[in-house]
Amino acid sequence: GAGVSQSPSNKVTEKGKDVELRCDPISGHTALYWYRQSLGQGLEFLIYFQGNSAPDKSGLPSDRFSAERTGGSVSTLTIQRTQQEDSAVYLCASSPALRTGGSEAFFGQGTRLTVV
Amino acid sequence: KNEVEQSPQNLTAQEGEFITINCSYSVGISALHWLQQHPGGGIVSLFMLSSGKKKHGRLIATINIQEKHSSLHITASHPRDSAVYICAVQVHNNNDMRFGAGTRLTVKP
């Protein structure tokens, strides 16, 4: 498709289980972002990939969270030993190559994660 | 202190009113985005600004780089404009993005 695609759209998991969330960015976009939005809260930055550079992981809330981006395209966000406070909507966005004046960001529809 | 501050947090208006949402930021930026998030969570990019002013239909966005401030205006507001409006900045030189907490707008008929 033409937009940013995320899967699954909804995920319910038991506390303590691991989950993987997938993001397919727009083809050719070099920048990819992961955010999360807890119920009633604003967007929280998690991690950012730019081309082949080392990712900016400064937003990851704990070492249970990790992300990778294979071949500069698809990205997977992994949450190990999920906790109830991990319940949120996880959003992915991509943007074209860095250029003067910034780059348009395009958002996926998100994955709603519920930890029970 | 957050790097991106929005005001107001909540705004209720009557249909037809002129609406202004403000955003101030404290970091050097390459661009500022105004985003719209509807109930159900989908996010749409409304504007990307690095200087001056942009207009799209009833929406106008302005930015003052020297004052590190941007405003989003909605003219002749309509109930379908009800949404959360989010200001986001792309940090200078690395494309990283930081978000304001959002402004929840409710337009009553």
Question: What are the residues of chain A with a beta carbon less than 8 Å away from any beta carbon of chain B?
Answer: 31, 33, 35, 37, 41-45, 48, 50, 56, 89, 91, 93, 95, 98, 100-107, 109-110, 112
The per-residue pLDDT of chain A, averaged, comes to: 88
CA-closest candidate to residue A33, choices A83, A100, A84, A103? A103
Model confidence over B57-104: pLDDT tens digits?
999 999 999 999 999 999 999 999 999 999 999 887 666 778 898 999
Question: Cβ of A43 and B99 within 8 Å?
Answer: yes
Q: Distance between CA B85 and CA B38 in Å, rounded?
A: 9
Is pLDDT above 70 for A71?
Answer: yes
Q: Distance between CA B72 and CA B82 in Å, rounded?
A: 14
Q: How confident is the model at residue A97, as a pLDDT?
A: 67
Q: How confident is the model at residue B91, as a pLDDT?
A: 81
Closest chain B CA to residue A96: B95
Model confidence over B9-26: pLDDT tens digits?
999 999 999 999 999 999
Tokens of A109: 């529809």
Cross-strand partners of A112: A10, A89
Q: What is the CA radius of gyration of chain A?
A: 14
Q: Distance between CA B33 and CA A108 in Å, rounded?
A: 16
Q: Beta-carbon neighbour count of residue A57 at 10 Å?
A: 13
* Three-state secondary structure call for residue A24: strand
- Three-point CA angle B104, B105, B106, nearest 5°: 120
Mean pLDDT, residues A68-94: 93
Cross-strand partners of A45: A35
Q: How confident is the model at residue A101, as a pLDDT?
A: 59
CB proximity list for B50: less than 8 A, separation 6 or greater: A100, A101, A102, B30, B31, B32, B63, B65
Q: How confident is the model at residue A104, as a pLDDT?
A: 74
**More confident call, A6 vs B92:** A6
Range of weakest confidence among A21-25, B11-15, B30-34: B30-34
Question: Cβ of B33 and A93 within 8 Å?
Answer: no
Tokens of A14: 């038991």
- Whether the CB of B103 is below 8 Å from some CB of chain A: the reply is no
